[in-house]
Amino acid sequence: MILGNGIAGQTCAEDLRKADADASITIVAAERHPLYNRVALPRYLRGQVRREKVFMRTPEHSAAQNIDIHFETWATEVRRDPDRDRRPAETASMAGFHGRQRLPGLPDP
C-alpha cells in the first residue's frame, strides 16, 4: 500500500512493479486525477500547454502495470490483519508527506 499519488508515490509503485511482477500494489490517493505535473498546471489552466504535457500518467497506464489506484480516497488508519499472508503494515509507504508522519495502528520503529 502506497499513500499518495504524487511523483514519489507513482515512482515507488513503478519501481516496486519492476522489482516484482507479481506484487500486489495499491495506491491510496486523495486526488481525483492521476499523476500530473503541478509545475505546469498554471500554464495548462491558462491554455498555454496541452493536457498531455500536464498529465503524466493515465488510469490505463497504471492498470496496464497492474497497479490499483483508489482516487479520492483518504487513509485514516492502517491496521494489520495477522491472519493474512502478506507483508506487515509497517511496509506501507507514505509518499509526498513533509517530515515524519505517523498513522494510527503502526508500531513505533
Q: In CATH, what number is assigned to the domain containing residue 57?
A: 3.50.50.60
Domain assignment of residue 8, yes or no: yes
| Distance set, CA 58 to CA 22, 55, 63, 82 (Å) | 21, 7, 9, 34
pLDDT tens for each residue of 7-36: 999 999 999 999 999 999 999 999 999 999
Position 97 scores a pLDDT of 47
pLDDT tens for each residue of 44-80: 999 999 998 999 999 999 999 999 999 999 888 777 6
Q: Work out how many domains the chain is built from and give that number.
A: 1
Domain assignment of residue 52, yes or no: yes
Position 105 scores a pLDDT of 57
What is the model's pTM? 0.71
The answer to whether 80 and 37 have CB atoms below 8 angstroms apart is no
Adjacent-strand bridge partners of 93: 2
The answer to whether 38 and 8 have CB atoms below 8 angstroms apart is no
Q: 16: closest CA among 68, 55, 78?
A: 68
Domain assignment of residue 99, yes or no: no
